[in-house]
Protein backbone atom coordinates (compact mmCIF):
# COMPACT_ATOMS: atom_id res chain seq x y z
CA UNK A 1 0.00 0.00 0.00
CA UNK A 2 1.09 3.58 -0.69
CA UNK A 3 0.12 6.47 1.55
CA UNK A 4 0.20 9.76 -0.33
CA UNK A 5 0.56 12.80 1.92
CA UNK A 6 -0.48 16.07 0.27
CA UNK A 7 -0.30 19.59 1.65
CA UNK A 8 1.68 22.81 1.37
CA UNK A 9 5.29 23.02 2.57
CA UNK A 10 5.38 23.35 6.34
CA UNK A 11 2.08 21.63 7.17
CA UNK A 12 3.95 18.82 8.92
CA UNK A 13 4.15 16.10 6.24
CA UNK A 14 7.73 15.19 7.16
CA UNK A 15 7.09 15.05 10.90
CA UNK A 16 3.92 12.99 10.46
CA UNK A 17 5.61 10.65 7.96
CA UNK A 18 8.29 9.78 10.49
CA UNK A 19 5.66 8.98 13.14
CA UNK A 20 3.56 6.97 10.67
CA UNK A 21 6.61 4.98 9.55
CA UNK A 22 6.99 3.69 13.06
CA UNK A 23 3.29 3.11 13.69
CA UNK A 24 2.52 1.20 10.49
CA UNK A 25 5.96 -0.20 9.59
CA UNK A 26 5.99 1.78 6.36
CA UNK A 27 8.90 3.58 4.66
CA UNK A 28 8.94 7.35 4.16
CA UNK A 29 9.90 8.44 0.66
CA UNK A 30 10.53 12.19 0.62
CA UNK A 31 11.48 13.65 -2.76
CA UNK A 32 12.93 16.70 -0.94
CA UNK A 33 15.19 14.44 1.20
CA UNK A 34 16.30 12.43 -1.85
CA UNK A 35 17.19 15.66 -3.69
CA UNK A 36 19.04 17.11 -0.67
CA UNK A 37 21.09 13.89 -0.43
CA UNK A 38 21.97 14.22 -4.14
CA UNK A 39 23.07 17.83 -3.49
CA UNK A 40 25.25 16.78 -0.54
CA UNK A 41 26.85 14.04 -2.63
CA UNK A 42 27.51 16.58 -5.41
CA UNK A 43 25.95 14.42 -8.15
CA UNK A 44 24.85 15.83 -11.54
CA UNK A 45 21.23 15.46 -10.43
CA UNK A 46 22.01 17.30 -7.18
CA UNK A 47 23.75 20.16 -9.01
CA UNK A 48 20.82 20.54 -11.38
CA UNK A 49 18.17 20.27 -8.63
CA UNK A 50 19.95 22.86 -6.47
CA UNK A 51 19.45 25.52 -9.13
CA UNK A 52 15.67 25.13 -8.76
CA UNK A 53 15.50 24.44 -5.02
CA UNK A 54 17.54 27.42 -3.78
CA UNK A 55 14.82 29.93 -4.63
CA UNK A 56 11.93 27.66 -3.78
CA UNK A 57 11.20 26.60 -7.38
CA UNK A 58 10.03 23.15 -8.45
CA UNK A 59 12.41 20.66 -10.05
CA UNK A 60 11.06 19.78 -13.57
CA UNK A 61 8.52 16.95 -13.73
CA UNK A 62 10.53 14.64 -16.02
CA UNK A 63 13.51 14.71 -13.63
CA UNK A 64 11.32 14.02 -10.60
CA UNK A 65 9.30 11.22 -12.22
CA UNK A 66 12.45 9.55 -13.52
CA UNK A 67 14.08 9.79 -10.07
CA UNK A 68 11.12 8.58 -8.00
CA UNK A 69 10.18 5.70 -10.32
CA UNK A 70 13.27 3.82 -9.15
CA UNK A 71 12.00 3.88 -5.56
CA UNK A 72 8.36 2.88 -6.21
CA UNK A 73 8.71 -0.83 -5.48
CA UNK A 74 6.61 -3.32 -3.52
CA UNK A 75 7.37 -1.85 -0.08
CA UNK A 76 4.59 -0.05 1.82
CA UNK A 77 5.58 3.57 1.17
CA UNK A 78 4.62 6.99 2.50
CA UNK A 79 4.99 9.45 -0.38
CA UNK A 80 5.99 12.79 1.15
CA UNK A 81 6.31 15.64 -1.36
CA UNK A 82 5.30 13.65 -4.45
CA UNK A 83 3.21 14.21 -6.51
CA UNK A 84 3.40 18.02 -6.59
CA UNK A 85 1.94 18.75 -10.05
CA UNK A 86 -0.85 17.31 -12.20
CA UNK A 87 1.77 15.87 -14.58
CA UNK A 88 3.40 14.01 -11.67
CA UNK A 89 -0.01 12.81 -10.41
CA UNK A 90 -0.81 11.44 -13.86
CA UNK A 91 2.54 9.66 -14.08
CA UNK A 92 1.96 8.18 -10.61
CA UNK A 93 -1.56 7.06 -11.56
CA UNK A 94 -0.09 5.03 -14.45
CA UNK A 95 2.49 3.41 -12.16
CA UNK A 96 -0.14 2.58 -9.52
CA UNK A 97 -2.39 1.07 -12.16
CA UNK A 98 0.42 -1.08 -13.53
CA UNK A 99 1.38 -2.26 -10.04
CA UNK A 100 -2.27 -2.74 -9.05
CA UNK A 101 -1.45 -0.92 -5.80
CA UNK A 102 -3.89 0.12 -3.10
CA UNK A 103 -3.37 3.73 -2.03
CA UNK A 104 -4.73 6.28 0.43
CA UNK A 105 -4.52 10.05 -0.06
CA UNK A 106 -4.52 12.45 2.85
CA UNK A 107 -4.35 16.22 2.46
CA UNK A 108 -3.13 18.23 5.46
CA UNK A 109 -4.41 21.83 5.50
CA UNK A 110 -3.00 24.96 7.17
CA UNK A 111 -3.38 28.73 6.60
CA UNK A 112 -0.58 30.43 4.65
CA UNK A 113 0.32 32.84 7.46
CA UNK A 114 0.79 29.94 9.90
CA UNK A 115 2.94 28.17 7.31
CA UNK A 116 5.20 31.23 6.96
CA UNK A 117 5.51 31.48 10.78
CA UNK A 118 6.34 27.77 11.07
CA UNK A 119 8.86 27.66 8.23
CA UNK A 120 10.69 30.89 9.14
CA UNK A 121 11.51 29.44 12.56
CA UNK A 122 12.14 25.85 11.49
CA UNK A 123 15.38 24.08 12.43
CA UNK A 124 16.18 20.55 11.29
CA UNK A 125 18.58 17.98 12.68
CA UNK A 126 21.35 17.10 10.22
CA UNK A 127 21.55 13.56 11.59
CA UNK A 128 17.99 12.32 12.22
CA UNK A 129 15.87 14.90 10.37
CA UNK A 130 13.69 15.83 13.37
CA UNK A 131 12.16 19.32 13.06
CA UNK A 132 12.20 21.97 15.78
CA UNK A 133 10.96 25.55 15.82
CA UNK A 134 12.58 28.54 17.51
CA UNK A 135 9.11 29.77 18.60
CA UNK A 136 6.81 26.76 18.93
CA UNK A 137 9.01 23.71 19.58
CA UNK A 138 12.38 24.87 20.91
CA UNK A 139 15.16 22.33 21.39
CA UNK A 140 16.26 21.91 25.03
CA UNK A 141 19.79 23.09 24.14
CA UNK A 142 20.16 25.76 21.44
CA UNK A 143 21.37 24.30 18.14
CA UNK A 144 21.32 20.68 19.40
CA UNK A 145 18.79 17.92 18.60
CA UNK A 146 16.86 16.62 21.64
CA UNK A 147 16.65 13.14 20.11
CA UNK A 148 20.19 12.38 18.87
CA UNK A 149 22.32 15.43 19.85
CA UNK A 150 22.89 16.16 16.16
CA UNK A 151 23.49 19.66 14.83
CA UNK A 152 20.40 21.75 13.97
CA UNK A 153 20.39 23.85 10.81
CA UNK A 154 18.06 26.09 8.84
CA UNK A 155 17.24 24.85 5.34
CA UNK A 156 18.46 27.40 2.74
CA UNK A 157 14.94 27.49 1.24
CA UNK A 158 13.34 28.30 4.63
CA UNK A 159 14.07 32.01 4.10
CA UNK A 160 11.06 34.30 3.75
CA UNK A 161 11.53 35.03 0.02
CA UNK A 162 11.83 31.34 -0.87
CA UNK A 163 8.93 30.42 1.41
CA UNK A 164 6.67 32.90 -0.38
CA UNK A 165 7.75 31.47 -3.73
CA UNK A 166 7.13 27.89 -2.53
CA UNK A 167 3.65 28.88 -1.33
CA UNK A 168 2.81 30.56 -4.65
CA UNK A 169 3.86 27.39 -6.48
CA UNK A 170 1.87 25.29 -4.03
CA UNK A 171 -1.29 27.25 -4.87
CA UNK A 172 -0.77 27.24 -8.64
CA UNK A 173 0.73 23.76 -9.17
CA UNK A 174 0.00 21.46 -6.22
CA UNK A 175 -3.38 22.58 -4.87
CA UNK A 176 -5.15 21.45 -8.10
CA UNK A 177 -4.29 17.89 -7.00
CA UNK A 178 -7.05 18.20 -4.39
CA UNK A 179 -9.67 18.28 -7.16
CA UNK A 180 -7.76 15.67 -9.17
CA UNK A 181 -8.02 13.13 -6.35
CA UNK A 182 -11.40 14.31 -5.07
CA UNK A 183 -12.92 13.63 -8.49
CA UNK A 184 -11.57 10.08 -8.16
CA UNK A 185 -13.24 9.77 -4.72
CA UNK A 186 -9.89 9.22 -3.07
CA UNK A 187 -9.19 12.10 -0.70
CA UNK A 188 -9.46 12.78 3.04
CA UNK A 189 -8.83 16.28 4.42
CA UNK A 190 -6.90 16.60 7.69
CA UNK A 191 -6.84 19.83 9.73
CA UNK A 192 -3.15 20.63 10.29
CA UNK A 193 -3.82 23.51 12.68
CA UNK A 194 -3.42 21.35 15.80
CA UNK A 195 -0.45 20.03 17.70
CA UNK A 196 1.41 17.22 15.96
CA UNK A 197 0.10 14.45 18.25
CA UNK A 198 -3.52 15.44 17.54
CA UNK A 199 -2.87 15.50 13.79
CA UNK A 200 -1.14 12.12 14.14
CA UNK A 201 -4.12 10.58 16.00
CA UNK A 202 -6.45 11.81 13.25
CA UNK A 203 -4.19 10.34 10.54
CA UNK A 204 -3.95 7.01 12.35
CA UNK A 205 -7.74 6.86 12.72
CA UNK A 206 -8.32 7.47 8.99
CA UNK A 207 -5.56 5.08 7.84
CA UNK A 208 -6.70 2.31 10.20
CA UNK A 209 -10.24 2.53 8.78
CA UNK A 210 -8.93 2.49 5.21
CA UNK A 211 -6.70 -0.55 5.58
CA UNK A 212 -9.32 -2.70 7.34
P1 LIG B 1 10.43 19.50 0.49
O2 LIG B 1 11.54 18.94 1.32
O3 LIG B 1 9.34 18.52 0.20
O4 LIG B 1 9.90 20.81 1.04
O5 LIG B 1 11.08 19.85 -0.93
C6 LIG B 1 12.14 20.78 -1.04
C7 LIG B 1 12.28 21.24 -2.48
O8 LIG B 1 12.63 20.12 -3.31
C9 LIG B 1 11.03 21.83 -3.13
O10 LIG B 1 10.85 23.20 -2.80
C11 LIG B 1 11.34 21.62 -4.60
O12 LIG B 1 12.30 22.55 -5.06
C13 LIG B 1 12.00 20.24 -4.60
N14 LIG B 1 11.01 19.16 -4.74
C15 LIG B 1 10.70 18.22 -3.83
N16 LIG B 1 9.75 17.39 -4.28
C17 LIG B 1 9.44 17.84 -5.53
C18 LIG B 1 8.52 17.42 -6.52
N19 LIG B 1 7.70 16.37 -6.32
N20 LIG B 1 8.47 18.13 -7.68
C21 LIG B 1 9.30 19.16 -7.92
N22 LIG B 1 10.19 19.63 -7.02
C23 LIG B 1 10.27 18.96 -5.82
Q: What is the CATH number of the domain that holds 89?
A: 3.40.50.300
Lining residues, ligand 1, CB within 6 Å: 9, 31-32, 35, 52-53, 56-59, 64, 81-82, 84, 88, 157, 166
Residue 137 · residue 131 · CB < 8 Å? yes
Q: Flag whether 106 is in a domain.
A: yes
Tell whether 74 is covered by a domain: yes
8 Å CB contact between 12 and 196: yes
Residue whose CB lies within 8 A of the most ligand 1 atoms, among 12, 32, 166, for a mutation test: 32
Range of the domain at 14: 2-112+168-211
Structural domain count of the chain:
1
E strand segments, the chain = 2-6, 27-30, 77-80, 103-109, 122-125, 131-133, 152-153, 187-191
Q: Does 159 fall in a domain? A: no
Q: Give domain status of residue 191, yes or no.
A: yes
**Residue 153 counted as domain residue:** no
Q: Does a structural domain hold residue 121? A: no
State pTM to two decimals. Answer: 0.93
In a domain, residue 128? The reply is no
Q: How would you write the pLDDT of the chain (212 residues) with one tens digit per residue?
A: 999 999 999 999 999 999 999 999 999 999 999 999 999 999 999 999 999 998 899 999 999 999 999 999 999 999 999 999 999 999 999 999 999 989 999 999 999 999 999 999 999 999 998 999 999 899 999 999 999 999 999 999 999 999 999 999 999 999 999 999 999 888 999 999 999 999 999 999 999 999 88
Quick one: pLDDT at residue 202? Answer: 98
40: in domain: yes
Amino acid sequence: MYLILLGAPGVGKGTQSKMLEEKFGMVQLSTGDILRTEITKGTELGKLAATYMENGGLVPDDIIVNMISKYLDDRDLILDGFPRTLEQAEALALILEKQNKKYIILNITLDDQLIVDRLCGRLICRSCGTSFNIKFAKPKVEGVCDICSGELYQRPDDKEESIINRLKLYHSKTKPLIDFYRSRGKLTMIDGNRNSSEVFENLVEVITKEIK
